[in-house]
C-alpha cells in the first residue's frame, strides 16, 4: 500500500448508483485501542467524539469484544494472550486519494492453504446443532471454521487480488500494527447517519441464504430462482431479520423499525446471496457505543436467539474468530447532517483475511437451521471459499488457437470466449489491443501450421506465443479416470485459464501411449478430457455432455453444435458399454477418432466420422 496504512472502498448502502467511498489513509494522528472488555465502550465514545469534531476514524472490533456490551454473549478468550486489541481505530485529519497502481511489472501474491476442516468434523458439528434445535435451545446457529495459510508476496498485491475476486461491497485493508485486516466483505453491518444529538437513520442489511452461481446463463437463473423460492433459505433469512428488528428496537424511536426490502437476491462472482433491509430512526441521545451494544455481533453471524446461538458457537468452534465476524469500517463527519453530524458505516467481516506476518487466517461458515443437509452445507462452504481460490495464485486467461498459413481458425469465437471469461473474472478487455497482439504474431508466422497461445493478464494486457503444430494421428487412446474429477463445477473448469493444476493431476503418464484422460464428475457423468471435449455415438447419433455436467465449452464443440452435427446429452458411466464410437474434439486439432480404455468398455478401433 506504499505509504497508506488503510484503504476503504465501500459501496453507498443507500444508493447503488452513487460514487463509492474510496479513500486511502496515511499515518494516523493517534490510535485508540481497547485490550480489555471494559475499555471498548470508551474507545467507541472517543471515536464518535473525534468524528463529530471533523476527523475520520478507521478501524473495527473483534468478535470477542461482544461481552463488552452484554456479559451473556459467550466467546472464546483472545488469541495471542490479548496481543491483538479487541477494538482498534486510527484517527485521521482527512482521507487521501486512492493510490495509483505502481509502475512496472505487477506484484504477485500467493497463498499456500492448509487442509480445511475435515468432513467428519463438519458433519458431527451439524448433528450437534440439529440436536440443539430439536431440543428448542435455538432456531439457527452460524457455524464457522478457520482456514490457515501462508502468504508469499506483497500484502497490497493480495488485497488487489481479493478485490478482483470479490469486487464491490465493503472492502477495507487496515494495518493495525499487530495484525492486518484484508476484507472484501459483501455484507453491510450498519450504516448510521446521526445528527449532533444522536438522532438519525440507521440501515442494516443482513445476508443469509446462499446458492452457487450456475455454469450457464440458464443454470444461473435456475440457481437464483431456487434460492429465492427455497423454504429453508427464506426461513434462514427471516429468522435473522426478526432478530435485527428486535435489536434495532433497543435504540429506535417507537414505530420506526421497518423492513422495506425482504429476501432480495444479490449476484456475487461465485455465489448468489439473499439479503434484506431493516431500517429505523435512532432516538435522541443515542451514541455509537449504544449502536454497537444493540447490534453487535451482527445476528447473521451468530444465529437466533443470539445468546443461546453464541453459547453453541463457543462450544462448537475450537478457538476465537478474531476480526472475522466482528466489524470493520469508518466513522466520519457528515456535512449533509449539519454541524456535529456523523456517518458510521461498518461491514460484517466475512470474506475477510487476518494477517500476522506471513500467516493468514480466513473463516468460512453458514447458518444452520432445522432441515439443513450436511452435503448441501458443505457445498455452500466450498462456494464461499471460491473467492480465495481466485485470489490465492495469479492466473492469466487463455485461448489456444490453430494458425494455418496465416489464418487463425475460429478467431472470432475464441475472442468472444476470451471476452466472456474477462467479464466473469473482472479482467479489463480491450478488443483492439488483443487484435493487434494477434496481428503481430500472424505477421511473424505467415506460413506453416502453428499452435497459438493467447493470454490476457489481470491488468488486461494481452500476449501471444506460437509453437509449431504437428499433425496428430488417429484414433487416439483415451483412458477413463480412476476417480471423479472434483473440480468439474469450478469456474476454472468453465473458463480456460493458466490455472490448470486440477487438470494436470489427471494427465496421462508420459510413455503410456494414452493421448488424454476421460473425466467424469462426482455424480458419475462424463464431462470432458483434460484438454478437449468428448463426443460419443449413442443410439445412432453423436452426443456431447452439456455444460451443466461441469466442463469447458470448447470452440470446436460449439461449432459442431451450431452445425447440428453434435447434440447435447448426459452420458453416464453406466452408458459407456453402449457407446458405438468415440471422438476427441477441440478447436486446435479438430475431430479425432478415439478409443476408450476402461473396464467393461470395448475400444473403437475404426475411425468414425460425422
For the annotated catalytic residues, the residue numbers are 187, 208
Beta bridge partners of 163: none
Terminal-residue alpha carbon distance, the chain: 57
For the CA atoms of the chain, what is the radius of gyration?
27
HEC readout, 331-400: EEECHHHCCCCEEEEEECCCCEEEEECCEEEEEEEEEEECCCCHHHHHHHHHHHHHHHHHHCCCCCEEEE
Question: Measuring CA to CA, how many Å separate 154 from each of 2, 49, 110, 162, 431?
Answer: 11, 35, 9, 13, 31
Beta bridge partners of 275: 207, 264
DSSP letter string, 269-289 = SSEEEEEEEEEEEEPTT--HH
Q: Cell 484438454 sits at which residue?
A: 531
The runs of H, that is alpha helices, within 135-266 are 155-165, 217-229, 231-249
Cβ atoms of residues 183 and 326 within 8 Å: no
**How far is 436 from 7, CA to CA, in rounded Å?**
36
Per DSSP, 497 falls in state B
Provide the 3-class DSSP secondary structure of residue 15: coil
Strands (E), 100-234: 109-113, 140-153, 170-175, 180-185, 188-194, 200-204, 207-212
Question: Measuring CA to CA, how many Å separate 170 from each of 11, 12, 57, 137, 343?
Answer: 6, 9, 16, 33, 15
Question: Measuring CA to CA, how many Å separate 353 from each of 179, 383, 395?
Answer: 10, 17, 20
Q: Cell 500484502 sits at which residue?
A: 155
Q: Provide the grid cell at 87.
A: 477494538
**How far is 601 from 5, CA to CA, in rounded Å?**
62
Buried b (16+ CB within 10 A) or exposed e, 471-482: eeebbbbbbbbe
Cβ atoms of residues 166 and 187 within 8 Å: no
What is the torsion angle, in degrees rounded to the nearest 10, for the CA atoms of residue 423, residue 429, residue 431 and residue 433? Answer: -160
**How far is 49 from 371, CA to CA, in rounded Å?**
47
Residue closest to 503 by CA, chosen among 493, 513, 491, 489: 493
**How far is 177 from 163, CA to CA, in rounded Å?**
22
Residue 548 CB-density burial (10 A; 0-12 exposed, 13-18 middle, 19+ buried)? middle
For 319, phi then psi, to 5°, come to -160, -175
Q: Cell 429465492 sits at which residue?
A: 228
Cβ atoms of residues 251 and 287 within 8 Å: no
Q: Provide the grid cell at 252.
A: 429506535
Amino acid at each position: 500500500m506504499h505509504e497508506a496504512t488503510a484503504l476503504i472502498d465501500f459501496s453507498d448502502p443507500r444508493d447503488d448508483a452513487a460514487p463509492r467511498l474510496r479513500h486511502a489513509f496515511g499515518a494516523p494522528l493517534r490510535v485508540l485501542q481497547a485490550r480489555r472488555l471494559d475499555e471498548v465502550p470508551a474507545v467507541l465514545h472517543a471515536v464518535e467524539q473525534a468524528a463529530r469534531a471533523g476527523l475520520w476514524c478507521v478501524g473495527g472490533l473483534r468478535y470477542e469484544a461482544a461481552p463488552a456490551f452484554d456479559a451473556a454473549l459467550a466467546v472464546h478468550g483472545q488469541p495471542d494472550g490479548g496481543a491483538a486489541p479487541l477494538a482498534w481505530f486510527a484517527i485521521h485529519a482527512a482521507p487521501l486519494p486512492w493510490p495509483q497502481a505502481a509502475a512496472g511489472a505487477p506484484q504477485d501474491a500467493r497463498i499456500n492453504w492448509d487442509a480445511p476442516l475435515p468432513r467428519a468434523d463438519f458433519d458431527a458439528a451439524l448433528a450437534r446443532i440439529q440436536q440443539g434445535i430439536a431440543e428448542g435451545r435455538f432456531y439457527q446457529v452460524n457455524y464457522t471454521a478457520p482456514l490457515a495459510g501462508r502468504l508469499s508476496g506483497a500484502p497490497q498485491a493480495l488485497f488487489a487480488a481479493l478485490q478482483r475476486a470479490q469486487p464491490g461491497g465493503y472492502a477495507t485493508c487496515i494495518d493495525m500494527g499487530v495484525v492486518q485486516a484484508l476484507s472484501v466483505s459483501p455484507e453491510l453491518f450498519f450504516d448510521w447517519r446521526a445528527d449532533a444529538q444522536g438522532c438519525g437513520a440507521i440501515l442494516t442489511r443482513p445476508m443469509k441464504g446462499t446458492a452457487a452461481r450456475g455454469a450457464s446463463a440458464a443454470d444461473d437463473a435456475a440457481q437464483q430462482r431456487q434460492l429465492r423460492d427455497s423454504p429453508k433459505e427464506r426461513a434462514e433469512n427471516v429468522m435473522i431479520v426478526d432478530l435485527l428488528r428486535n435489536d434495532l428496537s433497543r435504540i429506535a424511536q417507537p414505530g420506526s423499525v421497518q423492513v422495506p426490502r425482504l429476501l432480495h437476491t444479490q449476484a456475487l462472482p461465485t455465489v448468489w446471496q439473499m439479503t434484506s433491509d431493516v431500517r429505523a430512526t435512532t432516538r435522541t441521545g443515542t451514541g455509537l457505543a449504544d449502536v454497537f451494544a444493540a447490534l453487535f455481533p451482527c445476528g447473521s453471524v451468530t444465529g437466533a436467539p443470539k445468546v443461546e446461538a453464541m453459547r453453541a458457537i463457543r462450544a462448537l468452534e475450537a478457538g476465537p474468530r478474531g476480526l472475522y465476524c466482528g466489524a470493520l469500517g469508518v466513522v466520519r463527519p457528515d456535512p449533509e447532517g449539519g454541524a456535529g453530524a456523523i456517518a458510521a458505516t461498518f461491514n460484517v467481516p466475512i470474506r475477510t483475511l487476518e494477517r500476522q506476518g506471513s500467516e493468514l487466517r480466513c473463516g468460512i461458515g453458514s447458518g444452520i437451521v432445522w432441515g439443513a443437509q450436511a452435503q448441501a452445507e458443505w457445498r455452500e462452504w466450498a462456494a464461499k471459499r471460491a473467492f480465495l481460490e481466485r485470489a490465492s495464485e495469479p492466473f492469466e486467461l487463455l485461448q489456444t488457437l490453430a494458425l494455418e498459413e496465416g489464418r487463425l481458425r475460429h478467431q472470432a469465437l475464441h475472442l468472444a470466449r476470451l471476452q466472456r471469461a474477462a467479464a466473469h473474472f473482472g479482467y479489463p478487455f480491450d478488443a483492439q489491443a488483443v487484435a493487434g497482439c494477434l496481428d503481430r504474431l500472424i505477421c511473424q508466422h505467415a506460413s506453416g501450421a502453428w499452435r497459438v497461445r493467447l493470454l490476457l493478464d489481470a491488468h488486461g494486457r494481452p500476449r501471444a506465443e506460437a509453437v509449431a503444430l504437428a499433425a496428430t494421428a488417429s484414433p487416439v487412446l483415451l483412458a477413463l479416470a480412476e476417480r471423479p474429477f472434483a473440480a468439474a463445477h469450478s469456474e476454472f473448469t468453465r473458463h480456460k485459464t493458466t490455472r490448470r493444476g486440477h487438470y494436470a493431476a489427471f494427465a496421462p503418464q508420459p510413455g503410456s501411449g494414452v493421448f488424454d484422460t476421460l473425466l467424469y464428475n462426482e455424480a458419475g457423468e462424463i464431462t470432458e478430457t483434460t484438454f478437449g471435449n468428448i463426443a460419443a455415438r449413442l443410439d445412432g447419433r453423436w452426443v456431447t455432455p452439456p455444460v451443466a455436467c461441469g466442463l469447458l465449452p470448447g470452440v470446436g464443440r460449439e461449432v459442431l453444435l451450431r452445425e447440428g452435427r453434435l447434440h447435447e446429452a448426459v452420458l453416464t458411466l453406466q452408458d459407456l458399454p453402449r457407446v458405438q464410437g468415440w471422438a476427441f474434439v477441440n478447436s486446435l486439432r479438430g475431430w479425432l477418432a478415439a478409443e476408450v480404455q476402461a473396464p467393461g468398455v470395448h475400444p473403437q478401433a475404426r475411425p468414425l466420422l460425422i
